[in-house]
Amino acid sequence: MSQLQRAGQSGALDVAASQAVAKDQVAVILDMLRQLGGNPSVVAGAAATTDPLNAPFTLYVDPYIGSDRFVGGAYNSHEAGATDEEVIAQKLKRIELQRLECGYTSARPFKTINRAAIEAAIITSKNWYTYSDPRAHVDCVTIVLSGGVHIVLNDPGSSSTSLASWGASKDPTPAELIAFNPSTGGVLLPRGCSMRGQDLRKTTIRPNWVTQVVDEAADYSNRRSILKVSGTGFFFDYTAMDKIGHAESVHLLDVFHPASKAELDAFYAKVQSAVGTGADLASALLVTRPSEHQIVGPIDQTQTPNLQWDTTTGASPYIFNVSLRSEYGMGGAFWDGAKLSG
């Protein structure tokens, strides 16, 4: 019976082994990989289809083993088909180099929620994704958080929408990730992006930045958030807690705020300037969609009800089984209707 030998053991590939022993070890490795991955077609380039081993719209974040590295370009760009459905199916099988780097598996995830939020905009705005009908729905990104403590870089971002280009590859610093936030702070989750944990008690998010101890403004304009979410998002199974080491009131900080159209517009402009070229994004697609801020149909009370009012295009964000444990007055959610439309 053949077994895979650990490095340094007799018969392992890293020690002086006979050709027969080395071949045996390689065969064991290949059979083990076959058990994990099945029998997919794996090919680079554009000549033939490939079978991805990870999902196109599920992103993973783990602060302990993750990497926020950005890589542009494609590994497999094959597209062919006699019908729209066949072409769409091929487009969904395309593999970008980012999927070979990090972010798309729990074994090699992103490090921060910030980086995953940027990737959500990237993978829904590719210049080769030219179909917009329901058969080609791509606004279905889910971020999966590992157990542990996630520090959310919710600091105020750049007031400018023109950020330095990341080129074809980049290891972004925390400051460079924060720049994508609105100037009032909060990590923006675009495209109705959902975020779920793996354990309500063991998965926690904590802010990197908190508000000052001042009175609340009469118009609530000085309230801030950890996350700014868009319509149709689903948020599940984690706990929000105070900033580590902070021991003053944070009564002006909330976990969730809605993202306004202006904030979404600015976010996409930042993504375009930083990674639009490197990630092969289409400026026509890298724009705010109505479903991100319009949570009900466009009702006009001066008109007779019509079909446009009765729509399922938009939906409110849904927060379920998310716990708030704050010793210093952090709020759960603050929903400002002025930021939403419909």
| Cα dihedral: 99, 157, 285, 164 (round 10) | -70
Can you tell me the mean pLDDT for 284-299? 85
Q: Is the pLDDT of residue 309 over 70?
A: no
Q: pLDDT tens for residues 32-63?
A: 989 988 999 889 999 999 999 999 999 999 99
Q: Is the pLDDT of residue 163 over 90?
A: yes
Q: pLDDT tens for residues 6-37?
A: 888 888 887 777 888 889 889 998 899 899 88
Q: pLDDT tens for residues 58-97?
A: 999 999 999 999 999 999 999 888 988 888 889 889 999 9
Query: What residues have CB less than 8 Å from 340, skipping those under 6 apart?
Result: 231, 258, 260, 293, 294, 295
- Report pTM: 0.93
Q: pLDDT tens for residues 203-235?
A: 999 999 999 999 999 999 999 999 999 999 999
| Model pLDDT, residue 3 | 86
Q: Is the pLDDT of residue 135 over 80?
A: no
Whether the CB-CB separation of 194 and 292 falls below 8 Å is answered with no
Q: pLDDT tens for residues 169-196?
A: 999 999 999 999 999 999 999 999 999 9
- The chain-wide mean pLDDT, for the chain, equals 92
Q: Is the pLDDT of residue 308 over 80?
A: no
Handedness of CA 183, 204, 210, 315 (dihedral sign): positive
Q: What is the CA radius of gyration of the chain?
A: 23
Angle in degrees, 0-180, between the axes of helices 261-275 and 113-123, rounded to the nearest 10? 80
